[in-house]
Amino acid sequence: MGEPRRYNILGTLGKGGFGTVYKAQLKAAPGSRIVALRCSTPRSPGKRFARRARRRARVLGLVRHRAIVQVDGLVVLQGHWVVVMEYVSGVDLKRLMQAGPVPPGVALEIIEEVAQALDAAYRQPGPEGKPLGLLHRDIKPSNLRITERGEVKVLDFGTARANFQSREAQTQALTFGTVGYMAPERMDFEDLPAGDVPAA
């Protein structure tokens, strides 16, 4: 067995209704690196939540696209289920928009990259070879990060749903997401791919 992983919390990256994301230094042989830790805040902790957390982490770990934050796995730290993710430096699109209008050409490039990422997540084959049907369900400027190199990254798949969660779709169609950015389909309780197209 290798040396156990150790995490040194460096700061808070963001907070939401479903948890907190921390910036941390991962210390493990042969070296260390900076990661993001998403610590969930379960509404009803227990075995059921643990199963769902593990399942979601496994699904997100399958998705590979340059514009989607990479998931390294799921760990338990101080009694909390924590998703270990790639740390993405840069600034989110919300802050960029607050600084002034985004040039049309740049905006189109961002939209194209995000659309390709969401399409890749939806079509990504799962363990059985069938598409995951992964829906983000909370696409908004604060969940889109622009790196120093001008790369676009889609963040926070914490409210995502894949095909294996289809039984939750109808009852939770409006539970997840940000109302100001929900598509009309979500307002009609339809949890479909069109729901990842912002209504703004």
For 27-60, write each residue's pLDDT tens digit.
876 778 999 998 876 554 566 666 767 777 777 8
Higher local confidence (pLDDT), 112 or 75: 112
Between 123 and 198, the more confident residue is 123
pLDDT at 165 over 80: no
My answer on whether omega of the bond before 30 falls inside 30° of 0, hence cis, is yes
On whether both 118 and 32 belong to a single domain, the answer is no
Domain co-membership, 120 together with 153: yes
Is residue 166 domain-shared with residue 109, that is, in the same domain? yes
pLDDT one-digit tens code per residue, 144-158: 999 999 999 998 776
Three-class SS of 104-165: HHHHHHHHHHHHHHHHHHHHCECCCCCECCCECCCCCHHHEEECCCCCEEECCCCCCECHHH
* CA–CA gap between residue 28 and residue 117 (Å, rounded): 30
Provide the mean pLDDT of the chain: 80
The pLDDT of residue 78: 82
Rounded CA-CA distance 165/56 in Å is 10
- CATH at 186: 1.10.510.10
Among residues 138, 156, 191, 196, which one is catalytic? 138
Torsion of CA 115, 65, 42, 190, to 10 degrees: 30
Give the structural domain span for 82.
6-86
In a domain, 1, yes or no: no
Q: Is 156 a catalytic residue?
A: no
Q: Is-above-0.85 flag for pTM?
A: no
